[in-house]
DNA sequence: ATTACTAACCGGCGAGTAA
DNA sequence: TTTACTCGCCGGTTAGTAA
């Protein structure tokens, strides 16, 4: 699973490429790897026994070379990391649901409507579109999006909680994900505001699939 | 240097993306990571203290999330691995030298000339071009090249050693790197054969730079 | 100079268990 | 069920040193 002796393998690989051999000494390596000469010696023998390296002792020290096995290990690790970092994150898929979100309430209040217009540049339709999304895709999607905060504010009568918004586009319509403060805990249903009643404008029904874009 | 607790970080990342949090239990993790529940618990606390993860214990287990620090660590590792695997290897730079290579001798023998024609499809000029190259670039360059072997053979008078060849192109001229068996040990001067006297054909002098292509 | 063995030590691992 | 503490044990690390 976890690549054993990874630091050794990378040290060898970075010093002479994946395929050439690396003339060094155990004490040189021990400094680079912050350990003792003896530990390096023992670990290299162990790695050789595991088929991770070829190891030739000579007068000047040791000649080390990665084996196919260890190159493969590094390659697999590289692929796994790549797939973590290269996930498509410019699009988020959502499924239309009719759960009653709290956003619907907020968006109906004139005080917030004004704020939405001011900060997002859109006067929202008095209702939200609820989308069920994959939580981890959501986190990835909004990770690089600008975080537009509508701060909490108070009138004589009551206090209005803050809302976090992210500008998105749905079929080229400017819209926004809104997340009321008190529902900040991660949940897999998000609410979208837009200048139109999206359900009719985009002919959406429950379980329709929608793509949010940045 | 070496990323600590890498297997833990990857496990978390692969389960819920880099940015979302991961609801799990220490015993679930211990199975996946082939260790004990106690060790997982201890390591997670340690990782939290090192600022590698955020960790929230709840009734159902633990909620884990990578921090910026650990995402950065993974990203750095990914970049280092990428630069190992993405090295340009379709071109090899060589510097013309006039060291007397052994290939010059072999290539002058009619027995080898016949073999070169047969196996490489080129009747070589009776001399070689010596190039100084970077050893690790060389290893990378020939790694994926077909390894054409001229076996050793004997006549009544003597024995001829084997030669390993790699087909290459220099300015679109078909050529080959030749490596006599007895000089198989890695050295940073290689010998090139081609149907022409390359020095004059390409106007090369000592220290001229030459690009070998696949 | 090297590598690498031996032996003492020290720290991580996990069984048991509390909360 | 959880998490995570204590503690005994085992194994990796390193000092000393041989080759």
Structure tokens at A48: 């050789």
Smallest CA-to-CA distance from B86 within A181, A79, A34 is with A79
Q: Is the pLDDT of residue A44 over 60?
A: yes
Query: How do the domains of chain A map onto residue ranges?
Result: 3-85, 91-213
What separation in angstroms does the CA of B88 have from each of A86, B82, B173? 21, 12, 21
The shortest CB-CB distance from B17 to any of A32, A82, A140 is to: A140
pLDDT for the residue B199:
92
C1 closest protein residue (CA to C1'): A60
Whole-number percent of chain A with pLDDT over 70:
94
Size of interface A-B (CB pairs under 8 A): 101
Q: How far is CA A167 from the centre of its chain?
A: 18
Strand D: positions under 7 A of a protein C-beta atom: 1-6, 12-16
Instruction: Give the bridge partners for B106, in sequence order.
Output: none
The shortest CB-CB distance from B21 to any of A17, A140, A186 is to: A186
State the Cα angle at A81 between A66 and A24, rounded to 5°: 25
Give, for all 214 residues of chain B, the pLDDT tens digit: 467 889 999 999 998 878 888 999 999 999 998 889 999 999 999 999 999 999 999 988 999 999 999 998 998 999 899 888 877 667 888 999 987 667 777 788 888 888 898 888 888 888 899 999 888 788 888 887 888 988 888 888 888 888 899 999 998 899 999 988 766 556 788 999 999 999 999 999 999 989 998 8
Closest Cα in chain A, distance from residue B17 (Å): 6
Using the structure, give the distance in angstroms from the CA atom of B83 to the C1' atom of C12, rounded to a whole number: 34
Measured between beta carbons, the chain A residues lying within 8 angstroms of B18 are 84-85, 140, 143
Query: Measured from the CB, is B64 under 7 Å from any atom of strand D?
Result: no
Comparing A16 with B44, which gets the higher pLDDT? B44
Q: What is the pLDDT of residues A66-111, one digit of tens each?
A: 999 999 899 899 989 988 887 766 788 899 998 766 777 778 888 8
Closest Cα in chain B, distance from residue A187 (Å): 11
* pLDDT confidence band for A18 (50 / 70 / 90): confident
Query: Measured from the CB, is B50 under 7 Å from any atom of strand C?
Result: no
For residue B88, the chain A residue with the least C-alpha distance is A17
Judged by C1' against the alpha carbon of A28, the nearest nucleotide is C2
In this chain, the answer to whether the domains covering A3-85 and A91-213 adopt an identical fold is: no
Using the structure, give the distance in angstroms from the CA atom of B72 to the C1' atom of C8, rounded to a whole number: 40
* pLDDT confidence band for A160 (50 / 70 / 90): confident
Query: Measured from the CB, is B37 under 7 Å from any atom of strand D?
Result: yes
pLDDT for the residue B144:
74
Q: Which of A125-134, A176-185, B68-77, B197-206 has the lowest mean pLDDT?
A: A176-185
pLDDT for the residue A183:
62
pLDDT for the residue A88:
63
Measured between beta carbons, the chain A residues lying within 8 angstroms of B87 are 17
> Helices marked H in A98-146 — which ranges?
103-108, 110-120, 135-143
Check: CATH 1.10.3720.10 for A3-85?
A: no
pLDDT for the residue B186:
63
CB contact at 8 A, A115 and A186: no
pLDDT for the residue A101:
67
Does B7 contact A6 at a Cβ distance shorter than 8 Å?
Answer: no
pLDDT for the residue A185:
52
> Helices marked H in chain B — which ranges?
6-16, 26-32, 37-49, 68-85, 103-107, 110-120, 135-143, 198-201
CATH number of B91-213: 2.40.30.30
pTM over 0.75: no
Does B1 contact A13 at a Cβ distance shorter than 8 Å?
Answer: no
What's the whole-number average pLDDT of chain A?
87
Burial code of B77-86, b = ≥16 C-beta within 10 A, e = fewer? Answer: bbeebeebee
């Amino acid at each position: 699973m976890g690549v054993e002796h990874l630091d050794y393998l990378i040290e060898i690989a970075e010093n002479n490429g994946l395929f050439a051999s690396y003339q060094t000494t155990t004490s040189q390596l021990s400094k680079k790897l912050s350990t003792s000469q003896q530990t390096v010696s023992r670990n290299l023998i162990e790695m050789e026994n595991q088929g991770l390296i070829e190891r030739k002792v000579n007068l000047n020290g040791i000649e080390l070379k990665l084996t196919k096995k260890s190159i493969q290990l590094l390659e697999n690790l590289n692929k796994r990391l790549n797939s973590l970092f290269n996930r498509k994150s410019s699009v988020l898929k959502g499924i239309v649901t009719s759960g009653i979100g709290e956003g619907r309430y907020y968006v109906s209040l004139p005080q917030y409507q004004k704020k939405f217009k001011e900060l997002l540049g859109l006067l929202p339709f008095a209702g939200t579109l609820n989308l069920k999304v994959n939580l981890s895709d959501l986190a990835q999607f909004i990770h690089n999006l600008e975080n537009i905060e509508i701060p909490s504010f108070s009138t004589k009568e009551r206090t209005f909680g803050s809302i976090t918004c992210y500008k998105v586009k749905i079929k080229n319509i400017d819209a926004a994900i809104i997340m009321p403060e008190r529902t900040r805990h991660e949940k897999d249903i998000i609410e979208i505001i837009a200048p139109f009643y999206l359900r009719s404008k985009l002919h959406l029904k429950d379980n329709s699939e929608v793509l949010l874009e940045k």
